[in-house]
Amino acid sequence: MTHENLYNHNITDKRLLDDKFVEVDWSGNTLWQWRDSDHFNELGFNETQKNVLFRDPSMVPAGGGMGDWLHINCLSTLGPNRWYDNGDERFNPDNIIWDSRNANILAITSKKTGEIVWRIGPNFDELSLGQIIGQHHFHMIPKGLPGEGNLLMFDNGGWAGYGAVNGVSEHGTQSERRDYSRILETDPTTLDIKWQYTAEDAGENDNTRFFSPYISAAQRLPNGNTLITEGSDGRIFEVTPQHKTVWEYINPYYEAFEGKTLNMTYRAYRVPYEWVPQVTDPQETEIQQIEPADYHV
């Protein structure tokens, strides 16, 4: 995935920071490419949203930067899955699954035709999922893992989207707001929520106790648990299907970002021991329960 600065007067008269998918071979030859602005009419924007995009595609209220209008933050091939095995061509293993953080769009592109063959967002009014905002790490759970074939994402909340002027959006940019995050696992054919994680699901009284308005990720593990990267706070933790936290790590390394010192962590993965050849005899030691009175972050 890369960026290409261009003008597309079907969208706006301002210069766009456009997202582009490129496949190259080992010699650097381009084998396939796809540009999102070429598929503007497939993205599902209503007339109000198109009007906001024309006036200000920067995603910064009242302008202020080049038009990072979609900000696609992840892509991957679908890989083998039960939907394609049952004849649904939308889920061809070679198709590309991706999401737009700034526009609240989640989609699948056909590798063969370039068409968007599956999409939800940017409008969620008629969906039972609730409003998805600023999401990251949208992907299909691979074959062989619990929940295989379902879609998993970190639904950040925070601020994103285009829409009508409202109490939190003076100009129609960043028109959707929410002050907590969710992990969502959904069936791509029915859009039913199969599993979710929020602070309240985990027993907290306040959903804002789990909130990362940017970056972040979620990974389904072979034991059925989910590894969550709460990126803005550098927190990585593992939860059971019943929302119990069984492992946690706080990134202790801080760096400067926009004038602040933060321990942000973009994304974390659990990998098998065999992926690290230097570890020839892995030993696991049980961690004793920490007494809250003796431990402080």
CATH number at residue 262: 2.40.128.630
Mean pLDDT computed over every residue of the chain: 94
Q: Per the domain annotation, does 14 fall within a domain?
A: no
Cβ within 8 Å of residue 208, ≥6 positions away: 179, 180, 199
Q: Per the domain annotation, does 6 fall within a domain?
A: no
Q: Per the domain annotation, does 155 fall within a domain?
A: yes
Q: Please report, to the nearest 10 degrees, the dihedral formed by the alpha carbons of residues 234, 162, 71, 119 taken in order.
A: 100
Q: Per the domain annotation, does 130 fall within a domain?
A: yes
d(CA 254, CA 259): 12
As beta bridge partners, residue 106 has: 99, 120
Q: Per the domain annotation, does 75 fall within a domain?
A: yes
Number of domains forming the structure of the chain? 1
As beta bridge partners, residue 135 has: none
Q: What is the pLDDT of residues 185-215, one digit of tens each?
A: 999 999 999 999 999 999 999 999 999 999 9
Q: Per the domain annotation, does 149 fall within a domain?
A: yes
Q: What is the pLDDT of residues 49-89, one digit of tens each?
A: 999 999 989 877 655 556 899 999 999 999 999 999 999 99
The single-letter code of the amino acid at 40 is F
Q: In the prediction, which pLDDT does 295 show?
A: 66
Q: Per the domain annotation, does 20 fall within a domain?
A: no
Domain enclosing residue 177, as ranges: 71-279
As beta bridge partners, residue 58 has: none
* Token couple for 122: 């940017």
Low-confidence ranges of the chain (pLDDT < 70): 61-66, 295-297
Q: Per the domain annotation, does 244 fall within a domain?
A: yes
Q: Please report, to the nearest 10 degrees, the dihedral formed by the alpha carbons of residues 111, 132, 179, 205 taken in order.
A: -120
Angle at 90 between CA 85 and CA 93, to 5 degrees: 55
